[in-house]
Amino acid sequence: MLYELSTLSCPLLSLGEAATRAVAWATEGSKRGELLGCWRTELGTLGRVLLLRGFDTAECLAAERERALLSQNPFDGGDIVTALDMASFAPFPFLPAVKPGRRGSVYEFRTYRLKPGGLAPTLAGWQAAITPAHDYTQHLVTNMYALDGAPRITHIWAFESLEERARLRANAYGTGVWPPKFGPEQILDATSVIGLPEALSPLH
C-alpha cells in the first residue's frame, strides 16, 4: 500500500464545499485508489482540506497524480482552491494498512523533517516502541515516510478529544515508553496540525 496526502488551500468559509468536491474527485478515481479520509484543519495552518488516499501499486498512484496534474480543474476545486500540494508516502512496513472506520473525533497530523540518513534509525526506534507504548500507539492511524521532497515522516493519530491526546502523551512520556529511542535525534523540525473529519470522510 502507498499513500497520497493532498493539501488543498481555500478560504475559510469555503472549506465544506472544497471538501465535498475533493471527495467527489477522489471517488471518480476509485478504480485506482481508495479514499481513506478527508479533514479540515482546526489548529495549525487554517483554511486547509487534507485528503488521504491509498493505492495498491505505484502505477495506480502515478496515474492519479497525472490525472490531477493534467486537469484544468484538479480535485474539482474550481475558483475555490487557491493552492494544491500532493505528497507520496510509503507506510512504515511493520504497521497495518489504514482501514476506513470510526477512529476518533480529533485527528493529529505530525510531520517531522529528518536529517539526511535519519529514516533508518527512526524506523527501528518506532518498531521497538510500538508495543510497549500500546496505550498510546493504539491511537496511531499510520506513520509513513515521504517518497518525494525533503526526507520526512508524517504520522496521523486519532483521539476522542484534545484532552485525551494530552493525557495519553503525558502518560507515555512519564513512563518512559515514548518517544521512540533514537527518534528525536533525527528530527530537524516538526509541525503539528489538528484536523476534524468531514461528514463524508471514511475515517471519522
Domain ranges across the chain: 2-197
pLDDT at 31: 87
Query: Could you tell me which residues come within 8 angstroms of residue 126 by beta carbon, excluding any fewer than 6 positions away?
Result: 92, 94, 143, 180, 183
pLDDT at 157 (0 to 100): 98
| pTM passes above 0.85 | yes
How confident is the prediction along the chain (204 residues), in pLDDT tens digits per residue?
999 999 999 999 999 999 999 999 999 878 899 999 999 999 999 999 999 999 999 999 999 999 999 999 999 999 999 999 999 999 999 999 999 999 999 999 999 999 999 999 999 999 999 999 999 999 999 999 999 999 999 999 999 999 999 999 999 999 999 999 999 999 999 999 999 999 999 999
**Prior bond to 179 cis, omega within 30?**
yes
What 8-state DSSP symbol labels residue 87?
Answer: E
User: CA-to-CA distance for 154 and 147, rounded, in angstroms?
Assistant: 11
Rounded to whole angstroms, the Cα distance separating 85 from 197 reads: 19
Between the alpha carbon of residue 138 and those of residues 99, 130, 158, the distances in Å are 14, 9, 9
Beta strands in the chain, from DSSP E residues, in sequence order? 2-9, 33-43, 48-55, 83-91, 106-114, 140-146, 152-159, 187-197
Q: Which amino acid is at 185?
A: E
**Which CATH architecture group holds 2-197?**
2-Layer Sandwich (3.30)
